[in-house]
Amino acid sequence: MSFRLPRAAELRSPAILPPHGLDGLDPAFSRIVTARDAHGSYDWHLLDNADRLAELGVTPVGTILCVHGNPTWSYLWRSLVSRATDAAAHGGEAWRVIAVDQLDMGFSERTGVRRPLEQRVRDLGVLTGTLELDGPVFTLGHDWGGVVSLGWAVDHPDLLAGVMMLNTAVHQPESDRIPAPLRLALQPALLGNATVATPAFLETTLALAHPPLPASIKAGYRAPYLGASRRGGIGGFVADIPVDERHESFAELTRISSGVAQLTVPALMLWGPRDPIFSDKYLDDLIDRLPHADVHRFEGAGHLVAEDVDYAGAVLTWLADGIRSSSPDQAAPAEETERPPLWHYLDEMRDSDETVAVDMVPPTGDAPRVVSWKLMSRRVRQLAAGLTAVGVKKGDRVSLLIPPSADLIAVLYACIRIGAIVVVADAGLGLTGMTRAVRGACPDHVIGAAPGLSAARALGWPGQKISTAGYPAAVRRALGVSHSLAEVIALGADERMPEPPAPGDTAAILFTSGSTGPAKGVVYTHAQLSAVRDALSAQYGVGVGTGLVAGFAPFALLGPALGARSVTPDMDVTSPKTLTATAVAAAVAAVDATVVFLSPAAVANVVATADDLTEEDGVALAGVERFLSAGAPVSESLLSAISGLMPNATAHTPYGMTEGLLMTDITLEGIRDAATEAGAGGVCVGSPTGVTRVRIAPLDDVGRATEDLTDEPNVTGEIVVSAPHVEDHYDRLWLTHRASRRGGVPGERWHRTGDIGHLDSTGRLWVEGRMPHVIATANGVITPVAPEQAIERLHEVARAGVVGVGPDGNRQVVAVVETVPPARRVSLASPGLADAIRGVVDVPIAAALVVPRLPTDIRHNSKINRSALSDWAAGILAGGRMTKP
């Protein structure tokens, strides 16, 4: 493809920054540098804080070399230049930041000649030579500036200390077309008009910010490109995209991508997944080349990630941390690596005809399907061998879109056995949430039933597709299916096993419920999953021969690892409220269950449908010895009601989260004892399990958790836990992982839960809410659960939410209640109700509002969405309409 840059004598000199300045850019950082090579000399415009650092009398610890892409310029890096300089001025590490305007771009010289990728990499080398840079140098690039900066990195190993990148790519898969916006811009009929003659390409790029850019920032990006004669470099960059191997820059891109894979220096990738150009598949490719990199995906950010989020803070934090691009935590203690693997009992009991699993709703729709240990063990080995034959290998990510069933159990254990990484995103996240989760995990393979595969095809989820059932050729093509499980089993008939994974290898990525923001991928190693199994076994006596009813998928999947026979009751797993009492009784009878685990939402409907139980159902339920419910607070009345259906069972409500499934435990009797402690505040979730330690990070005056940890009683703060079964890290969320590990004991794995609470004098843990719901008032910090509980004891109140409105440090407390009977409309509480509310709490209530229904979070209908409620209440009290929250 030919493209000619405009030649004009007046462009041989760089333009000058507008005298009135640009929003956020200190002109003192702007300078012109003339760089000469064998072919001539050119004037470069840079942002450079070297002079300011010299004025401060500090010596830089290193240099950050920033390279913009197309159609931006060094303005992209203005916040990093300023932040790094401010940090040095206040005693922090002093980093020299050099942000270049590539030739023909920004305020650098218009050369009038084509500058393909190879030339641009050389150009940057000539400039850094002119600047006489010495090490250590960290490169930072975005868009095609990422490629150029990585090319420089590959060519300067003597200076290179690390590489950092925002959305970019170093490889275009042959099987994939280049992104649609670039295909359009490359059309010969459009290239010149879209990129040079008009500012269309520039304006389209500026429109990719989330949220939209202010007018003043857009003006900053437009400043060097105000006429067609100044936009030639934009067109030249687009024309230089190597669409195939015939392109002149293809060989250089291949050289750089190969060189990147050989880099061993620390690496950081900060990514905006809402990028229509550099999507997550390019991130996945970069991670494959730099597997040691620290990665953070900013959910909601896009192509202009430098404008969407605080990338500068992340960069400086990473550098200040000592640049640890390695395993997120210290090596696991020896006892964690010596646990039997999850498939231990599948090998031990491979000749047993005893039942391991029952499908209450088998795929065929027939009677419940009973699966023996012998059949399950054989299926797991056949699937493991067959999956290996179709290209699934150790370290590959496999997304499972299979409803709870024997098929799901067999596929999961087969993947675990060969060392593939299982990706589990709960269908309860909804289609949007699951799409976000699956794309973020970037699986290499997807194994699913028809509904999951249909969604995967329609929404462009990545990965080879394998179906649980066989389909006609036309359906297979429509779904993109390469193999069925039956075909995989046939290919694995020899049951030839690959080498098993090591205990420290990654085993699974389990996505959180999404109830406190976008679902996060929680990474577990094989040793950590084995520790989860061992913790459950020790706490509840679940082992060989135990019958387990699991209305919560992770427990059903752990059944074979525990040596138990398990069943998921007849229900819609995406809607726990569909579970009935008779379905629970049928499941208990199917496996002669002694342990039942249900979610709180499911428990409510089981109690509500108890009148449908037969005498035979009652006999089955009387055999249950332990009943568990967790995932949201469970009221004493609800736990008492379900206990009435299982009269011989001890009722437990464990406290945990996806990051640590079992942290503390309390029985119904323990809840009743705790209820007698007036003024304790919060929900008592019991004592730590045998292998768990619980500490509190006290809150400061504005409600932030401090670094120190304590086990002193009656100190309110963030709950921090440690156990062998706490997760390894968050997938591609380096900043989130870093925050979750803040404080603690060096060399130990401590996790900040985001919950607020305190320990009492006996060591029991009380939960008082979530960290974002702390109310920092002028008179101190208030947590919401205790006042909510007090208000709910009023006979005219069904549920209450206590939130803060106003600025941090001076927030006002607002109570929002559902009444008995329910109100028809939103209103201020009557004077009598408002007085009653104020009379039962010891916090100042600025306003009391009545609503027909309180907003709940995405997944747990029993959890009030206090963040949404706070925003709504602020709008109402500011004079907004009395609409429902």
| CATH fold match for the domains 342-533 and 774-877 | no
Which residue bears the tokens 């030649």? 7
Which residue bears the tokens 């941090």? 808
**What pLDDT was estimated at residue 362?**
65
Strands across the sheet containing 267-271: 30-37, 40-48, 95-100, 62-67, 137-141, 160-165, 267-271, 294-297
pTM (predicted TM-score): 0.89
Q: What whole-number distance in Å separates Cα of residue 650 and Cα of residue 668?
A: 8
Structure tokens at 357: 């699993």
**What pLDDT was estimated at residue 187?**
65
Structure tokens at 769: 């809410």
Structure tokens at 167: 């959305």
Domain ranges in the chain?
9-175+245-320, 342-533, 657-718+752-771, 774-877
Q: Is the peptide bond before 136 cis (omega within 30 degrees of 0)?
A: yes
Contact call for residues 339 and 531 (beta carbons, < 8 A): yes
The CATH number assigned to the domain with range 9-175+245-320 reads 3.40.50.1820
DSSP string, 382-412: HHHHHHHHTT--TT-EEEEE--SSHHHHHHH
Map residue 454 onto helix, strand or coil: helix
Q: What whole-number distance in Å separates Cα of residue 778 and Cα of residue 789?
A: 23
Torsion angle of the four alpha carbons 703, 708, 712, 715, in this order, in degrees rounded to the nearest 10: 0
Strands across the sheet containing 683-688: 655-657, 660-665, 683-688, 765-770, 750-759, 717-722, 693-698
- The CA-based angle 324-150-185, given to 5 degrees, is 130
Identity of the residue numbered 555? F
| Cβ neighbours of 401 (radius 10 Å) | 26
Contact call for residues 273 and 297 (beta carbons, < 8 A): yes
DSSP run (H or E) holding 347: helix 344-348
Q: What whole-number distance in Å separates Cα of residue 126 and Cα of residue 103?
A: 12
Structure tokens at 87: 């940090």
DSSP run (H or E) holding 169: none
Q: What whole-number distance in Å separates Cα of residue 544 and Cα of residue 537?
A: 10
- Residues whose CB is less than 8 angstroms from the CB of residue 229 and which lie 6 or more positions away in sequence, other chains included: 6, 8, 11, 110
The CATH number assigned to the domain with range 342-533 reads 3.40.50.980
Q: What whole-number distance in Å separates Cα of residue 859 and Cα of residue 854?
A: 15
> For residue 310, what is the DSSP state?
-
Q: Are strands 655-657 and 660-665 parallel, antiparallel or unpaired?
A: antiparallel
Contact call for residues 92 and 320 (beta carbons, < 8 A): yes
Q: Specify whether domain 774-877 bears CATH 3.50.50.60.
A: no
What's phi and psi for 161, nearest 5 deg?
-115, -20
Q: Along the chain (885 residues), what's the average pLDDT of each consecutive run of 10 residues?
A: 36 56 91 88 95 96 97 97 96 96 95 93 97 94 97 97 97 68 61 83 95 96 94 90 84 96 97 92 93 95 97 96 55 61 94 90 73 96 97 94 88 97 78 77 90 85 91 93 96 94 94 74 94 93 91 78 91 77 94 91 90 94 93 80 94 91 93 77 90 94 90 95 92 92 79 94 93 91 91 92 90 93 91 94 92 72 79 85 75
Q: Which residues pair with 813 in a beta bridge?
A: 804, 845
**What pLDDT was estimated at residue 188?**
65
